[in-house]
Amino acid sequence: MRFSWQLGLGAALALGEFLALSPAAATVTQSVRATGTAAILGSDLANAFEQAKKAALREAVERAAGTLVSASTQVEGFELFSDTILLQSPGYVRGYSVSAQRQVDAHTYEVTLDAEVDLGFLHRQLEAKNLLIAAAGNPPLLCLGKEMLAGQSGAAGWGVVAGELERGIKEASSRFTLLEPGPGNWDAAGALALARTRGAEVLVLGLATLHALPDARVPGGDRLGNLGVSSARAEIEVRLMWVDTGEVVAVLNQSSRAAAGSFEAAAQKAARQGTARLAPQLVKKLLKDWQEKVYAGRPLQLQVEASASQLRRFERTFPAQVGGIDHLQPRGMAGGVGRYEARARHEGFQVARELSAKGLGDLNVEILAVTGNTLSLKLSD
C-alpha cells in the first residue's frame, strides 16, 4: 500500500506552522554576489538588462539555498529546485543593488548584483514542501510525454517533453517518487491503462505540437533560411491526473518559439523551453492538490452492490461506523449498484481496513476492489 494520508500530530502541527508562516517573520539573511546574463533581442538593451537581472537574482537564491541545504540535517538529499521555487526568487530577496552591468558582445548582456537572501523564509518553504510530500504518502508519479509535428500522425519520439517534466519535478524535490518514463507513442485512451500497469498513482501527460515558422527577414533584407537558421513554435499541453479515478487535477498550456540550425533542433529547443516553463506550475498544482486532500479530506468514490433496503441501511451505518467519513452523497442506483461520493480523511485502503475490522452492523460486507480514491463493496444480509 503506497498511500498514507495520516500524519503524526507533531508533524501535522509543524507542517501547518510552516505553511502559515509569512515572509515578514524571517530575520536570517545571507549576502550573496551573483551574475546573470541574457540575450540581446532586437537591440533592446533595457529588456536584456531586466532579464539578466532576473537571472542574477535566481543565481543568488540558488547559492543561498545550496548553503542552507548543505548545512541542514532535516532536508537530506534535497536537490536544488531552480525551475520551481527559484522562479519566485524575488520573493526570497529582501534587497539588492546592482554593482556592475555591461554589454558583453553584440548578443549578450551581463548584470552583477549584491543580494540579501531571506534564509528563514527559504528554509520554511523547503521544509513545508517535504513535509507535505510525506504527509500525502508520496504517491508514485509517471510522466508521459510526446512530440507531434503539426499535420503528421506519428510521434517524433524525442523524449524531450517527458524528460523536462521529470527534471522539473526532481528539481522541486528529491522526495518525489518518479517511475521510469514510459514510451512516447501512447494515446489518450491508453495512457491511464499504461499508468495502472506501471503502478503509478499520479499521471503527468505532456504533449508538444510543433510548427515550422515562416522564413523571416532579418535587418539588412536577408532571410533567416539563407543564414542557415530555422524557426519553430511548440504548443504544449500538460495534464495532471489521478490514475485510479481519472480525475484531472490541472491542465496547463504554454507556447514557445526557438531558432536553431535545423527545424528539428529548433523544434526540440522550443519544446524543451516551453515544458521547462510549465514544470514549476505543474509542481505547484500537484502540491496544492495534495495539501487539500491532506487537510480538507479527499474524495472517495464508492460502488455498492446491494438491494434498495440494504443501501438505505448502508447510508445510515457507514458514516457512523467508519472513522473520518464526511458528507456521504448518493449519486444514483442502476443495475443493483449504488454509487456514492464521500469526503474522507483517509484513503481507500484505510477505509477498507476499518470496514474489515468493524463491519457494518448486521450487514455482511465483501470488499471487491480498492484503490486510493475508490472502493467497491458487496452487501448481503
- Provide the residue ranges of all domains of the chain, joining segments of one domain with +: 1-137, 138-296, 297-380
Q: Is 45 helix (H, G, I), strand (E, B) or coil?
A: helix
121, 92 contact by CB (below 8 A): yes
CATH for 138-296 is 3.40.50.800
**H helix or E strand, kind and range, residue 289:** helix 263-296
Per-residue model confidence as pLDDT tens digits over 214-244: 765 555 555 555 566 788 899 999 999 998 8
Instruction: Identify the burial level of 169 via C-beta atoms within 10 angstroms of its C-beta, where 0-12 means exposed, 13-18 middle and 19 or more buried.
Output: buried
The vertex-261 CA angle with 260 and 265, nearest 5°, equals 60
pLDDT at residue 299, rounded to an integer = 79
Q: Is 136 helix (H, G, I), strand (E, B) or coil?
A: coil
Per-residue model confidence as pLDDT tens digits over 145-192: 999 888 777 777 888 999 999 999 988 888 899 998 766 677 877 898
Residue of 245 and 380 predicted with greater confidence? 380
**Mean per-residue pLDDT over the chain, rounded:** 78
pLDDT at residue 14, rounded to an integer = 40
Taking alpha carbons only, the member of 219, 127, 223, 216 closest to residue 175 is 127
Contacts of 269 (CB under 8 A, 6+ apart): 232, 258, 259, 260
- pLDDT-derived band at 287, boundaries 50, 70, 90: confident
Q: Is 173 helix (H, G, I), strand (E, B) or coil?
A: coil
Contacts of 8 (CB under 8 A, 6+ apart): none
Burial 62-73 (b: 16+ CB within 10 A, else e): bbbbeebbeeee
Share of the chain above pLDDT 70, in %: 76
pLDDT at residue 220, rounded to an integer = 56
Residue of 17 and 321 predicted with greater confidence? 321
Length of the chain equals 381
Cα 41 from Cα 29, distance rounded (Å): 35
Q: Is 325 helix (H, G, I), strand (E, B) or coil?
A: strand
pTM over 0.75: no
Cα 357 from Cα 351, distance rounded (Å): 10
Share of the chain above pLDDT 90, in %: 31
Q: What residues does 363 pair with on adjacent strands? A: 360
pLDDT at residue 313, rounded to an integer = 92
CATH architecture of 1-137: 2-Layer Sandwich (3.30)
Contacts of 284 (CB under 8 A, 6+ apart): 84
Instruction: Identify the burial level of 368 via C-beta atoms within 10 angstroms of its C-beta, where 0-12 means exposed, 13-18 middle and 19 or more buried.
Output: exposed
Instruction: Please compute the mean of the pLDDT values over residues 115-122 and round it to a whole number.
Output: 75
User: Cell numbers at residue 190, please?
Assistant: 491508453
Cα 338 from Cα 300, distance rounded (Å): 14
Choice among 68-82, 181-195, 303-317, 362-376 with the minimum mean pLDDT: 68-82
